[in-house]
């Protein structure tokens, strides 16, 4: 009798605890398992696959809705963007990109970069700039301030040195007006009509000794004879003209005059007129021939070689390296001002493009039930085990109540 009472007291709590424990354990496992559907005689068994695998698509949609509705709201994305795009972080990112670009230019792709830069320069000089020049040259104030500044600061104060004046005078005497050219100018000038005009003018306008020479001897015969000698004896004439130029010191006189000449010695009205004439001449030339000049220039230059030289100069330029920090700082400030104004609209445009909700759905759907079980177990393993233990405890308590009720009935 005592043995029977012992079994009545112990068996219900033990069985209740075991049933409660394993029932909860099986129920929790059935949330994930089996991972796939099971079939018997061609029919799918109930509760296969597990609850979560069979509803994984709905779970993915719910997870996406919760995240987008509660976590990744537009306001939260704006706050994340502001934290991410703080001026210091943006400046460092831009500085890194500029350094990377500079290293890329200095790397093995330098020839490719030089070719690209060369094409850009050729297009700019040969195509874009001529079109702009045609438009700019139609303006009345085209290059007015620039030419005036050059004229006032350079040309107006410019004065030849002694060596420069000597070179110019030598060029003018030997290159522009050599003896043979002077002789030819005399021949061309001393026509019969010009000789007649000179003779009559001297007869009428001179007085004293010059009048006697002009009216008694006359200059017609002398000028006619001079023209005949220049034509008939060119070599002797050239020698005499050279001797006359040397005797008169034309080169030295011209050198002194060039060395002493300055535009500041001219009247103000003449200087202003000269400046206006210079500007108009340059403007007219650029308007008529500037585009063709730039296009011909673009075809005559090896732009790839020029770009390569520029890139090599950039590599060795300390200014370029030291300017990266300043450039990145300025760009970061510009980006900050832009984001302050348009961040909300940018985020609203980015959300549909990123399609974050669909990314979440696809990622959850792409996760295998086993991986999903492992992820959830890793998060709430202790809580799930507590539920299993709680089932055993509740089963044990209920079994104890049942044992006590049976004892009371006896």
Q: What is the pLDDT of residues 107-157, one digit of tens each?
A: 555 677 777 777 887 788 777 887 887 777 777 777 778 877 887 777 777
Mean pLDDT for the chain? Answer: 78
Residue 43 three-state SS: strand
Residue 131 has a pLDDT of 81
Residue 210 has pLDDT above 70, yes or no: no
| Distance, first Cα to last Cα, the chain | 11
Residue 245 has a pLDDT of 85
Q: What confidence category does residue 404 fall into, taking pLDDT thresholds of 50, 70 and 90?
A: confident
Residues of the chain above pLDDT 70, percent = 90
- pLDDT tens, position by position, 314-344: 666 666 666 777 777 777 777 777 777 777 7
pLDDT greater at residue 117 or residue 242:
242
Q: Which of 103-117, 254-268, 337-351 has the highest mean pLDDT?
A: 254-268
- pLDDT tens, position by position, 163-208: 888 888 888 888 888 889 888 998 898 888 888 888 888 777 777 7
Lowest mean pLDDT among 108-117, 218-227, 253-262, 398-407: 108-117
Residue 44 three-state SS: strand
Q: Sort residue 355 into left (φ over 0), alpha (ψ -120 to 50) or beta.
A: left
Residue 93 has a pLDDT of 80
Q: Sort residue 34 into left (φ over 0), alpha (ψ -120 to 50) or beta.
A: beta
Residue 4 has a pLDDT of 53
Which helix H or strand E contains 38, and what residues bound it?
Answer: none
Residue 315 has a pLDDT of 64
**Angle at 279 (CA atoms; ends 278, 285), nearest 5 degrees:** 90
Lowest mean pLDDT among 81-85, 220-224, 387-391: 81-85
Residue 320 has a pLDDT of 63
Q: Print burial letters for 389-405: b (CB count within 10 Å at least 16), e (below 16).
A: eebbebbbebbbebbee
- pLDDT tens, position by position, 42-97: 787 777 777 777 877 888 888 778 777 777 777 777 777 777 777 777 878 877 77
pLDDT greater at residue 245 or residue 151:
245
Burial of residue 183 (CB within 10 Å: 0-12, 13-18, 19+) is: buried
Residue 137 has a pLDDT of 76
Q: What confidence category does residue 270 fall into, taking pLDDT thresholds of 50, 70 and 90?
A: confident
Q: What confidence category does residue 1 fall into, taking pLDDT thresholds of 50, 70 and 90?
A: very low
Decide the pairing of beta strands 39-40 and 43-44.
Answer: antiparallel
| Helix (H), strand (E) counts: the chain | 21, 2
Residue 394 has pLDDT above 60, yes or no: yes
**8 Å CB contact between 263 and 273:** no
Q: Sort residue 166 into left (φ over 0), alpha (ψ -120 to 50) or beta.
A: alpha
Q: How far apart (Å, rounded) are the C-alpha atoms in residues 373 and 32?
A: 6
- Sign (positive or negative) of CA dihedral 272, 278, 281, 284: negative
HSE, CB side, 13 Å, CA atoms: give it for residue 93: 11
Residue 354 has a pLDDT of 72
């Amino acid at each position: 009798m005592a043995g029977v009472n012992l079994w009545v007291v112990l068996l219900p709590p033990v069985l209740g605890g075991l049933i409660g424990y394993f029932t909860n354990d099986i129920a929790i496992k059935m949330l994930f398992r089996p991972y796939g559907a099971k079939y018997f005689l061609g029919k799918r068994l109930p509760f296969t696959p597990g609850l979560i695998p069979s509803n994984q698509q709905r779970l993915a949609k719910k997870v996406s809705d919760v995240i987008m509705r509660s976590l990744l709201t537009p306001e939260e994305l704006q706050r994340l963007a502001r934290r991410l795009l703080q001026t210091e972080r943006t400046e460092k990112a831009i500085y890194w990109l500029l350094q990377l670009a500079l290293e890329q230019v200095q790397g093995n792709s330098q020839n490719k970069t030089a070719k690209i830069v060369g094409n850009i320069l050729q297009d700019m000089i040969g195509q874009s700039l001529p079109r702009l020049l045609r438009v700019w040259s139609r303006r009345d104030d085209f290059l007015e301030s620039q030419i005036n500044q050059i004229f006032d600061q350079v040309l107006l104060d410019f004065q030849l040195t002694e060596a420069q004046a000597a070179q110019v005078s030598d060029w003018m005497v030997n290159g522009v007006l050599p003896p043979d050219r002077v002789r030819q100018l005399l021949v061309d000038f001393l026509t019969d009509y010009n000789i007649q005009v000179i003779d009559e003018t001297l007869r009428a306008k001179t007085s004293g000794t010059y009048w006697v020479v002009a009216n008694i001897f006359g200059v017609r015969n002398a000028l006619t004879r001079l023209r005949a000698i220049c034509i008939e004896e060119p070599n002797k004439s050239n020698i005499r003209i050279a001797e006359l130029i040397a005797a008169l010191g034309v080169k030295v006189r011209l050198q002194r005059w060039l060395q002493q000449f300055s535009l500041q010695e001219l009247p103000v009205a003449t200087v202003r007129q000269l400046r206006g004439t210079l500007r108009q001449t340059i403007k007219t030339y650029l308007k008529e021939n500037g585009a063709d000049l730039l296009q011909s220039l673009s075809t005559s230059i090896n732009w790839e070689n020029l770009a390569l030289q520029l890139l090599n100069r950039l590599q060795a330029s300390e200014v370029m390296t030291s300017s990266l920090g300043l450039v990145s700082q300025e760009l970061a400030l510009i980006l900050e001002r832009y984001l302050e104004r348009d961040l909300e609209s940018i985020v609203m445009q980015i959300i549909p493009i990123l399609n974050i909700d669909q990314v979440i759905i696809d990622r959850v759907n792409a996760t295998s039930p086993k991986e999903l079980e492992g992820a959830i177990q890793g998060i709430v393993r202790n809580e799930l085990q507590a539920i299993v233990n709680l089932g055993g405890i509740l089963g044990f308590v209920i079994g104890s109540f049942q044992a006590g009720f049976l004892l009371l009935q006896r």
